[in-house]
Amino acid sequence: MAFGKGHHLHLIDGSAFIFRAYHALPPLTRKSDGLPIGAVSGFCNMLQRYVEGNVGGDVTHVAVIFDKGSHTFRNDMYDQYKANRDAMPEDLRPQMPLTRAATRAFNIACEEIEGFEADDIIATLARQAEAEGGRCSIISSDKDLMQLVGGGVVMVDAMKGNKVIDREGVEEKFGVGPERVIDVQALAGDSVDNVPGAPGIGIKTAALLINEYGSLEELLDRAGEIKQPKRRETLINHREQIELSKRLVTLDDKMELPFTLDDLEVKDPDPDTLLAFLAEMEFRTIVKRISDKLGVDAPVIEDAAPVAEDAPEQPPFDAEKYEWVKDATALQTWIDRIYARGYVAVDTETTALNEMRAELVGISLCVEAGQACYIPLIHKGGAADDLFGDDALADGQMDFEECLTLLKPMLEDDSILKIGQNMKYDAKIFARLKIDVAPIDDTMLMSYAMNAGLHNHGMDTLSERYLGHTPIPIKPLLGSGKSAITFDRVPVEEAVKYAAEDADITLRLWQMFKPQLHRKQVTSVYETMERPLVPVLAKMEMSGIKVDRDTLSRMSNAFAQKMAALEDELYELAGGKFNVGSPAQVGEILFDKMGLEGGKKGKTGKYSTGADILEDLATEHDFPGRVLDWRQLSKLKSTYTDALQTHINEETGRVHTSYSITGANTGRLASTDPNLQNIPIRTDEGRKIREAFVAEDGKVLVALDYSQIELRILAHVANIPALKQAFKDGHDIHAMTASEMFNVPLDEMTSDVRRQAKAINFGVIYGISGFGLARNLRIPRAEAQGFIDRYFERFPGIRTYMDDTIAFAKEHDRVETLFGRKIHTPEINAKGPGAGFAKRAAINAPIQGTAADVIRRAMIRMDDAIAHLPAKMLLQVHDELVFEVDKDAADDLIAAAKDVMENAANPVVKFDVPLVVDAGIGATWAEAH
DNA sequence: ACGCTCACG
DNA sequence: GACGTACGTGAGCGTA
């Protein structure tokens, strides 16, 4: 039957499928021979899901289109086309032919043509289908294909839940109809494909211009009429480049193809061929699924692939099935189910992301994959009550207090495990409502324990990677910018789908991760250093630290005055007004206007004006020094004295940061909203900011910090006798290093020599390089290299440690801390400049990570150790803990806390060197440190 | 949204 | 042999 009216052609962008599969899955290998097959596996799953999704659909013709080779006619037009693409990963290359074989095994047409991109073939076929009066759906999210939409052609974005992109979708993305997409692309260019376009013009501006002038050609011809001088010149000066860009982005839709539309007719796969291929790949799960579906016996796979165990059969996600809990009877049914099961996934919806300010809006629960509910509590928008802004409660919601009263016993029940994704957030919301959620599990922390370094651990990432499911995005529900609404304004109907799905996803992730923890040997890391931190941090964050607004405000004013004075001086020196805060303008004045030497342009074409460069120039001119002074004040004012005031909570009068447990790959915490881990201390002026951090009346702040913890850990792991002895004897480690290296007796040590040794000591922790040390010490590179050589000569154990660490990383794609925390280093075997980064990170991670483990252990034990004292732990700054305590109990606190910190490694790790903790007391953080 | 700059350990 | 590099973070600003 010839393709024509009533027929529907599906064109699948093969490369997009492959890359998505590759990035979505861990690097699986075939068990029998170690052949990488992660991408093939994902590709087959996607094909299978695609085929299933279209059973009974109206698809009549289908093909998967691939790219062939990397050289196309576009490279002949422009040699830089796609020149910035990274090389294909080594473990993906051998999988490329297998994806073609997989396509054929599914009996789907598989096409690729030398010298052309898949997009050109897709364009040609789409136009042919259109000409024959049929329809065409392109399965891809590549915006380059949007020019084809219209007539009978649409795109289907498989990444976004098969969202259909039609004419309107294209207009939304490009601001013009499909016919003008290439005009917009020609102007905007494309950094991914390295299409130059017109410098400084993005999609928004391009669409504006094209809509005004009708077409690119018209625009270029009448470019002289444009009012904005910069834009006018850009278009006139870059005409050729823009026209080239248009040719690059225009798809060839008139290729001569060695096959016809009729050849693409949908055919059922041959079960034997398909199963044989899948069995050969050792895809146990998908073999079983397809055998069951076709009603045939599954071929025997000798060696079970490990994927199968991790991916038990799960019902598909179906937002329509989630329950809207409206009353106590319905809720009680859920509570009964939870007790029958022993565990429940919980998620809260609130009015804000800041837990200290957010109000609880609703709760979702899930007890079994696919079976979840949402309990809306204070959604607005019931009876129209426009006088009061529609603030009436929506119908179908149970009483707030009644709901909490019913849930509280369950949430606090020792026998019911509460599972969450980032449970610290939900626990804090509940804690403010006097509910102590325990015991808990946290899928985000499980992922972190298993996969630190591989990817982030947000719900969207985890769901996509491990469940192959893209969660309902929150953006469309809340909107953005000025018109954004809070979750209590989301219609309950929509809220149920979104909120219940989160609990559903969390439960499914937990079911998958729980058995993996053992297999990946991170159970103890998770159970001793991740999960127990949740209540500890929640408590610290809720305590907050008192910050004195008046002190900050006074400092702000003083800074503003000094800045204004500096600005006047700078304008004088520059011979005119300019924006001191603009690095670009500072660079121009220094290097163009004043003609100073040493201007280096970065990749954006701007002069670099970092502090190190300006410091070098300060000897030649007054200007750069003044800029540095101004910058320091500007930083202190905007980031600290001004911004910090906005973070003072109205109710508590204190600042409540939020610690991210999974924020840093090494095991360190990260502090946000505000970041209290980078409050100034290095300069006297900045240090004053710490005077605004104060204790309540009758109390004092106590700061305890580990002395040289990373160097002590280095001395231990690299087993350097001289360093270990120096720490045991309590000597000045930097002076000792200097003495050993430069053969200077300790009593003749100069501060300068000690400073250099200190830089080397730190450099070693960071994965030292001659270049880095030279820059840090401002000495010639050869001299720096000489220092390093001498250091390694004197402490050969350090070099051995570094080599061993890198060898371990190369073999296992990860490094470990002394406590067993695993930190993945996926780039360690990469070629190119990335390799250097990866090596240094691999050297640093076990040291920084072990120190992070030590303080985590201390924090977890601290609660009990100081429970008998009128004291609270408030802050953690990597190697420092800050407490607030009644004045007369300060000494007791110091004794207790110091003991916990110094012995935090015991009994798991027995350090050869003592861990020493220094203490300080004061009315402010400045005094205490 | 992204790069620059700079605050901390 | 050249190239580009100290490790780990977060926030504010200017610029597109």
- The reply to whether the predicted model has a pTM over 0.75 is no
C1' of C13 to CA of A487 (Å)? 30
Give the residue from A605, A613, A657 showing the smallest Cα distance to A631: A613
Mean pLDDT of A168-172: 88
DSSP A301-369: -SS--THHHHS---PPP-GGG-EE--SHHHHHHHHHHHHHHSEEEEEEEES-S-TTT--EEEEEEEEET
Q: How confident is the model at residue A306 (pLDDT cuts 50, 70, 90)?
A: very low
Instruction: Report the C-alpha gap between A41 and A29 in whole angstroms.
Output: 10
Mean pLDDT of A845-858: 96
Dump pLDDT digits (tens) for A197-253. 898 888 888 998 999 899 999 999 998 888 888 888 889 989 999 999 999 999 999
pLDDT score, position A387:
54
Q: Helix or strand or coil: residue A257?
A: coil
C1' of B8 to CA of A498 (Å)? 38
Mean pLDDT of A128-150: 93
Mean pLDDT of A703-717: 96
Q: Which of residues 769-808 of A touch strand C (CB under 7 A)?
A: 769-773, 775-776
Q: How confident is the model at residue A88 (pLDDT cuts 50, 70, 90)?
A: confident
Using a 7 Å cut-off to protein CB atoms, list the covered nucleotides of chain C.
3-16
pLDDT score, position A304:
46
C1' of C15 to CA of A817 (Å)? 42
- When the pLDDT of each residue in chain A is averaged and rounded to a whole number, the result is 91
Residue A669 is given by DSSP the state: -
Q: Which of residues 146-175 of A touch strand C (CB under 7 A)?
A: none
Q: How confident is the model at residue A1 (pLDDT cuts 50, 70, 90)?
A: low
A566 CB neighbours strand B below 7 A: no
Of A246-250, A308-312, A898-902, least confident by mean pLDDT is A308-312
Amino acid A239 reads R
pLDDT score, position A759:
94
Residue A27 CA, chain-centre distance (Å), reads 19
Nucleotide whose C1' lies closest to the alpha carbon of residue A614: B5
Using a 7 Å cut-off to protein CB atoms, list the covered nucleotides of chain B.
3-9
Question: Would you state the structure tokens that stand for residue A232, as one six-digit string?
Answer: 């006018």
Dump pLDDT digits (tens) for A333-356. 999 999 999 899 999 999 998 888
Confidence check: pLDDT of A286 > 50: yes
Residue A9 is given by DSSP the state: E
Confidence check: pLDDT of A809 > 60: yes
Dump pLDDT digits (tens) for A537-592. 999 999 999 999 999 999 999 999 999 999 999 999 999 999 999 888 998 898 88
C1' of C1 to CA of A768 (Å)? 21
Percent over 90 (pLDDT), chain A? 69
Is A589 exposed, middle or buried (CB count within 10 Å of its CB: 0-12, 13-18, 19+)?
A: buried
Percent over 70 (pLDDT), chain A? 97
Confidence check: pLDDT of A445 > 50: yes
Dump pLDDT digits (tens) for A405-427. 999 999 999 989 999 999 999 99
pLDDT score, position A386:
53
Instruction: Report the C-alpha gap between A759 and A755 in whole angstroms.
Output: 6
A588 CB neighbours strand B below 7 A: no
A603 CB neighbours strand B below 7 A: yes
Amino acid A656 reads H
A845 CB neighbours strand C below 7 A: yes
By C-alpha to C1' distance, C3 is nearest to: A833
Instruction: Report the C-alpha gap between A716 and A718 in whole angstroms.
Output: 6
A353 CB neighbours strand C below 7 A: no
Sheet holding A417-420, edge to edge: A323-324, A371-376, A360-368, A343-350, A417-420, A440-442
Q: Which of residues 228-257 of A touch strand C (CB under 7 A)?
A: none
Residue-range domains of chain A with CATH? 8-264 (3.40.50.1010), 271-310 (no CATH), 319-530 (3.30.420.10), 545-655 (1.20.1060.10), 710-850 (1.10.150.20)
C1' of B8 to CA of A676 (Å)? 9
Is A76 exposed, middle or buried (CB count within 10 Å of its CB: 0-12, 13-18, 19+)?
A: exposed
Dump pLDDT digits (tens) for A47-64. 888 887 775 568 899 999
A382 CB neighbours strand B below 7 A: no
DSSP A566-592: HHHHHHHHHTS---TT-HHHHHIIIII
C1' of C4 to CA of A203 (Å)? 33
pLDDT score, position A49:
83
C1' of C14 to CA of A588 (Å)? 15
Mean pLDDT of A631-645: 94
- Specify the residue for token string 């146990």: A284
By C-alpha to C1' distance, C13 is nearest to: A581
By C-alpha to C1' distance, B5 is nearest to: A610
Confidence check: pLDDT of A308 > 50: no
Instruction: Report the C-alpha gap between A35 and A94 in whole angstroms.
Output: 8
pLDDT score, position A389:
58
Q: Which of residues 873-902 of A touch strand C (CB under 7 A)?
A: 878
Dump pLDDT digits (tens) for A724-779. 999 999 999 999 999 999 999 999 999 999 999 999 999 999 988 899 999 899 99
- Specify the residue for token string 């922390």: A445
Do the Cβ atoms of A649 and A357 come closer than 8 Å? yes
Q: Where are the alpha helices (DSSP H) in A600-639?
A: 611-617, 622-635
Beta-carbon contacts of A862 under 8 Å, excluding residues fewer than 6 positions away, are A536, A873, A881, A897, A900
Q: How confident is the model at residue A897 (pLDDT cuts 50, 70, 90)?
A: very high
A760 CB neighbours strand C below 7 A: yes
A834 CB neighbours strand C below 7 A: no
Task: Measure Cα distances from A587 to A573, A580, A626 in Å.
Answer: 14, 10, 14
By C-alpha to C1' distance, B6 is nearest to: A635
Give the residue from A573, A466, A475, A501 showing the smallest Cα distance to A345: A501
